[in-house]
Amino acid sequence: MATGSSLEPKITEQISAVREFNRFYTARLSLLSRRHLDTRFSLTESRILYEIYANPLMTATRLRDSLELDAGYISRLLATLAKKKLVRRASSKSDGREKHLMLTATGESAVARLNEQSSAQLEEMLTHVNAADRQLLIASLENVRMILGGKQIPTIRIERLRAPNDDALAILEEYYDAVHVIQRDKPGSLRKIIEEPGSGMWLAYRGEEAVGCVVLRSLANIPLASECKRLYVKHAARGNRIADKLLDVQEEFARSQGVEWIYLDSYDDLKAAVALYERRGYQRCERYNDNPQATLFMRKKIV
């Protein structure tokens, strides 16, 4: 094992942080218990049963590679599980040297209980976390997986539309369904917003996928003001500050157009969105439009 003296101070701190988190989550998920999830199986036995359940053509070689375990250790564990009549082997039709691992009826029942226990444990944990933090947690887990798995995290880029396109129409439709919008923009009205001076629509791309959007349109009834509309980020992309990036670009553009105030409407159930707006400096104000779905109204001075 490398010692702290042989590493840069920053790396040493990072190693310490990862080790500290390892200690936290192994205890939080009860991974140190002799028996996993109050069953008769160890964590490793439970994972082997799950891998066989999830991969119908699993072999001992693939299992060893997937779990990165010693071949002898895998062999002993499989022998134990076979002796308990949880796992059986069947000859491979494509390779006579390999045998497929399959669950018996008893093994399938054991995995069903493990899955049920695991889901109940995580449900209990996540129930006490608010919706916005749950989304952030899942996105962070995906980032950890991509980084440690050697995959490159796609960069986020923000593009202002010059004309309506399929990406814009698709993500707006997803937004409408997600928040149950009644007053929806038609392609013609969207084109008008995009082409109107002082207005616009921006899309956030992760790689080649459109994962977020926001619209700015002029407010004819309020001098030097525009309205923020249709802010949305796909669930799978949340936790990457995409909403902030979209609002940053929107506000920069608005300032370049001489706008001093940005207004928006929302409703109380969208707690994560309201918290985001408040964090960015939006404050509650009087109703300024006739949107029948809106229950709260906010504005921000940007100059």
In this model, does residue 7 exceed pLDDT 80? no
Alpha-carbon span 148 to 230, nearest angstrom: 34
Instruction: With cut-offs at 50, 70 and 90, classify the pLDDT of residue 95.
Output: low
Q: How many residues does the chain have?
A: 303
pLDDT at 4: 47
Q: In a 10 Å sphere around its CB, with 0-12 CB exposed, 13-18 middle and 19+ buried, how is residue 296 labelled? A: middle
100 vs 95 pLDDT, higher one: 100
The arrangement of secondary structure in 156-301, i.e. its CATH architecture, is: 3-Layer(aba) Sandwich (3.40)
**What pLDDT, in 10s, does the model give residues 176-212?**
988 888 888 887 888 998 999 899 999 999 988 999 9
pTM: 0.57
Q: Which of the following CATH numbers is that of domain 33-126: 1.10.10.10, 3.40.50.10790, 1.10.645.10, 3.40.50.10490?
A: 1.10.10.10
Tokens in use for 222?
């309020």
Q: In a 10 Å sphere around its CB, with 0-12 CB exposed, 13-18 middle and 19+ buried, how is residue 198 labelled? A: middle
What is the overall mean pLDDT for the chain?
A: 90
pLDDT at 144: 87
H/E element, 253: helix 242-256
Tell which residue, 297, 293, 243, 229, has the closest CA to residue 272: 243
pLDDT at 185: 80
In this model, does residue 1 exceed pLDDT 50? no
**What pLDDT, in 10s, does the model give residues 258-296?**
999 999 999 888 888 899 999 999 999 999 999 999 999
Tell which residue, 175, 256, 166, has the closest CA to residue 214: 175
Q: 209 - beta bridge partners? A: 206
pLDDT at 130: 85
Residue spans per domain, the chain: 33-126, 156-301
pLDDT at 214: 98
Give the torsion through C-alpha atoms of 76, 80, 81, 83, to 10 deg: 130
